[in-house]
């Protein structure tokens, strides 16, 4: 392969930076003191407690309790804690028993009289479209019309009717989005393409403008168990029309009934609470220098035990580093634990921290974003009737950074862990999560973001049975090693990467 002189110089500089980080890394391991890290049991007990709160949708009671717990925990460690307050109109759906699709009264009565069925709830929903819209307790009744598979839909005949629409789960082309800096363990194969259970329809405005009174959205290519309780899409503005999801089997049955022009009732109750308060918590642990900062960040809102438990990881790391003498902490550590990840139209999450604290961003030499810890892999089996089950492996931890020095520091820190991780360069624009805004602000950033199928599933057990306490603790240990490595690197090395 031939290189231009400019290309060669850039390539050589990158290799040099990687070599510096690797050469330094072996010595930096001596800075890690595992006996100071909170135990696996301590971290897991906090995780079980957090899961027991239920879904922590932005600003609800469970989320507020979790935020207070984090603030009190950081204060108890001696960190300086402050809060940035926000308010927004919180939308929250009513009890699950009200999320039903029912046969319209006329059709239900005909079915009952003919002995083909009973009057009452039919076709339970798998979940609802957050911030879509709401009905009264009586629901909305109208003829059901099938409009096709998203995005090829025909909305010309939906006025005053209930629209039924299919969708296929979108894929993520990791081979296009990312180039690996390193894989751990080295024998693993990073997937080329993945298809996590995420909704493809993110905007209901066309249905609302076409005059539909409700929307039923049908999964077509994931198992019913995988589709169950998915809180998707999140962080969307109010849509002005109620919408619910059904699984693939129910969608097929509804298409047949739509062909017979049957009447249905959709019921989706919700409460809108204006001016709901919600706080970002910012904890600071001073280092030997107050002029250079390392940010460790995450968000605190989410529907289950892993989305978002990154804050428990930050609490463990704060406890670890607070036990070290200040002289062994070269830089000040700042822990922004933001709200608003699930209420983006009103509450700016990490963007709000960047905007409100430019003096901190100016001093920041590196950032590590911690999200979704302890995830075990659950997948649908292939075939016409997929089953949702554990694969026996850890979920891929995708650690995103365009910075070679940061990447190599993490690759080295992963040595000896049980994590299955890909440290990747987002060459195709795939920087996801709370780290992306920090990276765009010019901060050398690692965004650590596993993405399991159940990431957005608000199941009754909060998906805690799909998490591993051993993996979660091993990941926290990796972050402690990583921060030691970053703290020992100079600014020139970090920025050159």
CATH of residue 72:
3.40.630.10
**Token digits of residue 449:** 């973001």
Q: Answer yes or no: do 423 and 392 share one domain.
A: yes
234 and 134 in one domain?
yes
- The pTM of the full predicted model, rounded to 2 decimals, is 0.90
The residue whose two tokens read 């204060």 is: 75
9 inside domain: no
Domain of 394 in residue numbering reads as 17-89+274-496
Query: Could you tell me if 114 and 34 lie in one domain?
Result: no
Decide which of 268, 292, 324 is a domain's last residue: 268
- Both 164 and 81 in one domain: the answer is no
CATH number at residue 157: 3.50.30.30
Single out the residue in 204, 235, 268 at which a domain terminates: 268
What gap in Å lies between CA 172 and CA 345, rounded to an integer? 24
Residue 10 lies in a domain: no
Q: Which pLDDT score, from 0 to 100, does residue 496 have? A: 82
**CA–CA gap between residue 316 and residue 310 (Å, rounded):** 10
Residues 33 and 73 in one domain: yes
User: Do 368 and 288 belong to one domain?
Assistant: yes
Q: What's the total number of domains in the chain?
A: 2
Q: Are residues 43 and 125 located together in one domain of the fold?
A: no
Please indicate, yes or no, whether residues 472 and 345 belong to a single structural domain of this protein: yes
In a domain, 117, yes or no: yes
Residue 9, pLDDT score: 36
486 in the same domain as 450: yes
In a domain, 1, yes or no: no
pLDDT value, residue 430: 87
> What does each of the 497 residues of the chain score in pLDDT, given as a tens digit?
333 334 333 434 444 444 444 443 444 445 899 999 999 999 999 999 999 999 999 999 999 999 999 999 999 999 999 999 999 999 999 875 445 666 554 443 333 233 333 344 478 889 999 999 999 888 899 999 999 999 999 999 999 999 999 999 999 999 999 999 999 999 899 999 999 999 999 999 999 999 999 999 999 999 999 999 999 999 999 999 999 999 999 999 999 999 999 988 899 999 999 999 999 999 999 999 999 999 999 999 999 999 999 999 999 999 999 999 999 999 999 999 999 999 999 999 999 999 999 999 999 999 999 999 999 999 999 988 899 999 999 999 999 999 999 999 999 999 999 999 999 999 999 899 999 999 999 999 999 999 999 999 999 999 999 999 999 999 999 999 999 999 999 999 998 87
Asked if residue 409 is part of any domain, the answer here is yes
Residue 306 shares a structural domain with residue 418: yes
User: How much is the pLDDT for 109?
Assistant: 32
Does residue 348 belong to any structural domain of this protein?
Answer: yes
Q: Is residue 3 part of a domain?
A: no
Whether residue 244 lies inside any domain: the answer is yes
Q: Are residues 249 and 362 in the same domain?
A: no
Q: Of 232, 253, 268, which marks where a domain is finished?
A: 268
Same domain, 38 and 142: no
Measured from the Cβ of residue 152, the count of other Cβ atoms closer than 10 Å reads: 8
């Amino acid at each position: 392969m031939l290189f231009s002189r400019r290309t060669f110089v850039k390539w050589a500089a990158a290799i040099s930076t990687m070599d510096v980080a690797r050469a330094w890394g072996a010595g930096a391991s001596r800075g890690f003191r595992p006996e100071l890290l909170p135990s696996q049991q301590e971290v897991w007990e906090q995780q079980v407690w957090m899961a027991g709160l239920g879904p922590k949708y932005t600003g609800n009671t469970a989320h507020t309790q979790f935020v207070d717990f984090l603030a009190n925990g950081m204060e108890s460690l001696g960190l300086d804690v402050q809060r940035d307050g926000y308010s927004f109109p919180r939308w929250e759906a009513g009890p699950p028993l009200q999320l039903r699709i029912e046969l319209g009264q006329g059709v239900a009565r005909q079915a009952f009289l003919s002995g083909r069925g009973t009057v009452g709830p039919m076709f339970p929903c798998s979940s609802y479209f957050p911030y879509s819209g709401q009905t009264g307790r009586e629901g909305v009744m109208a003829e059901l019309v099938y409009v096709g598979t998203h995005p090829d839909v025909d909305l010309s005949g939906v006025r005053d009717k209930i629209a039924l629409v299919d969708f296929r789960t979108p894929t993520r082309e990791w081979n296009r989005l990312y180039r690996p800096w390193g894989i751990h363990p080295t024998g693993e194969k990073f997937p080329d393409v993945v298809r996590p259970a995420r909704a493809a329809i993110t905007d209901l405005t066309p249905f609302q403008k076409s005059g539909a009174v409700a929307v039923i959205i049908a999964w077509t290519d994931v198992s019913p168990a995988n589709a169950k309780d998915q809180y998707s899409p999140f962080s969307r503005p109010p849509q002005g029309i109620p919408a619910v999801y059904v699984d693939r089997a129910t969608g097929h049955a509804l298409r047949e009934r739509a062909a017979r022009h049957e009447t249905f009732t959709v019921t989706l109750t919700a409460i809108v609470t204006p001016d709901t308060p919600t706080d970002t918590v910012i904890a600071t642990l001073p280092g030997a220098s107050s002029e250079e900062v390392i940010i460790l960040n995450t968000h605190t809102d989410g529907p289950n035990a892993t989305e978002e438990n990154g804050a428990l990881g930050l609490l463990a790391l704060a406890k670890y580093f607070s036990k070290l003498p200040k002289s062994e902490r070269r830089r000040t550590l700042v822990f922004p634990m933001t709200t608003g990840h699930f209420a983006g139209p009103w509450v700016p999450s990490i963007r709000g921290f960047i905007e409100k604290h430019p003096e901190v961003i100016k001093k920041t030499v590196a950032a590590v974003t911690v999200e979704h810890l302890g995830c075990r892999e659950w997948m649908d089996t292939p075939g016409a009737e997929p089953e949702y089950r554990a694969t026996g492996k850890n979920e891929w931890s995708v650690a995103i950074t365009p910075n070679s020095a940061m990447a190599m520091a993490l690759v080295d820190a992963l040595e000896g862990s049980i994590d299955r991780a890909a440290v990747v360069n987002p060459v195709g624009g795939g920087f996801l999560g709370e780290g992306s805004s920090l990276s765009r602000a010019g901060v050398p950033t690692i965004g650590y973001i596993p993405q399991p199928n159940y990431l957005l599933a608000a199941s009754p057990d909060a998906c805690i049975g799909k998490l591993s306490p051993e993996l979660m603790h091993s990941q926290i240990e990796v972050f402690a090693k990583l921060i030691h490595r970053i703290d020992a690197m100079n600014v020139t090395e970090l920025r050159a990467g």
